[in-house]
Structure 1
């Protein structure tokens, strides 16, 4: 039996090393869905303020869904690609330094642990043991907070963003098209506000923020967006500019 058994994880305390990234992905997905709900809802409600024609509303909604999903995916791909390229460049730079200057890198690692409060002797022992185990991972972790096996994927990010937006956008499309004509806008308002409240609450729960305040904030913002586009649609329709 080992003299130093591995400590067991406490109940209710997640210890997965990739937990933070998974939570960030989940939060990004919720925000993407939120964008899909608001943007598509605003467009279909605005069109419904001009015309009751289901074909026109469907065309506008599908165009907003497809365009928004592609835009979200492209934006996420460009952003994450830049981040991924930077991470890979830093990893390669650190790998090269370890090959060319191993003693200097060991001293640097020990100095970082001294700066964290360890005694010089303990810091050197820790640095030597970590270097013997996996020098690159040790340096990336303490110097840059990077895991070489956890570099973000631009394609995954783009796909996740597009899917989240699409799932969010489907709600207002169904809400505006399925009910009878006289109920379309009210049903859409209610469905969107409820959905936004839910996404705001979940996002705050994941991030540890105030859930009521977060839910209220997105609900009010969504209500303003829908009201504004519906009023604009009505004004344009009544003025004869759009028929």
Structure 2
């Protein structure tokens, strides 16, 4: 019988979606709530909210791009350094291979043939050191751009949700009440599915995500009321 292993391999993409969506749901929601507390009109709230979504998505996307680019640059620097060490001090590097394998319970007579085999294959030796000595995986060269797009798009999607009631309803206070209900439901669903994808307890994740979003919006609303009074 053929055995098929199923592993979740989209961790980086899910992380980017979580980063973008969580901020997209909470920041524009808090902004709209704060402006509602200051008795701003729905049109003003929508204008300010859309401006924030545009600026926030660009900033978040750029941050994701720079983070992924930094990871790739770090990998390339470490790879070059490791390659130089293999060429200049091969005996020391070979000894390090033995030490790494010994941590897996292999004894010298068991890992020495592996060490010698790697010395005859420099490219595989280099990959072995990168993975098992430094714990670094070769990054996807398209990762930086993909991360930027995913985070920015997730931020926009998340940000539009709390603003939609203000687009449809003329009275800002009524729109605020609907926005609170819609956003809390979105936070609950987002937190639940985030928990499923990340392997944490879905209901706990839903509660935590919703609590943080509600706390942020309540703080903004309260500050606006305090300033107005």
TM-score by length of 1: 0.80
Structure 1 residue 112 corresponds to structure 2 residue 103: no
1:153/1:64 CA distance change after superposition, 3 Å:
same
Instruction: Output the CA distance in 2 between the equivalents of 1:75 and 1:56.
Output: 28
Alignment correspondent of 2:151? 161
How much has 1:64 moved relative to structure 2?
1.1
User: In 2, Cα distance between the equivalents of 1:211 and 1:132?
Assistant: 49
110-119 or 121-130: bigger deviation: 121-130
Paired with 1:115 and 1:59, the residues of 2 have a C-alpha distance of 59
Q: Which residue of 2 aligns with 1:143?
A: 133
CA–CA distance in structure 2, aligned partners of residues 152 and 108 of structure 1: 32
Unaligned 5+ segments in structure 2 are none
CA RMSD of aligned residues (A): 2.6
Query: Is 1:198 paired with 2:198?
Result: no
Instruction: Note the 1:2-151 alignment, pairs <5 A.
Output: 9-10=3-4, 13-14=6-7, 19=9, 22-51=10-39, 53-132=41-120, 134-148=124-138, 150=140
Q: 1:151 to 1:141 in 2, by over 3 A?
A: farther
Counterpart Cα distance in 1 of 2:118 and 2:28: 52
Query: 1:80–1:152: 8 Å Cα contact kept in structure 2?
Result: no
Distance 2:71 2:198 in 1: 22
- List gaps (5 residues or longer) in structure 1: 1-6
CA deviation map 1:201-222 (0-9, x unaligned): 2222222222212211221222
Instruction: Please list the CA deviations of residues 153-184 of structure 1 after superposition, one character each: whole Å capped at 9, or x if unmatched.
Output: 43332332222211211111213222453631
* Count of residues in correspondence between the two structures: 226
CA distance in 1, matches of 2:3, 2:161: 40
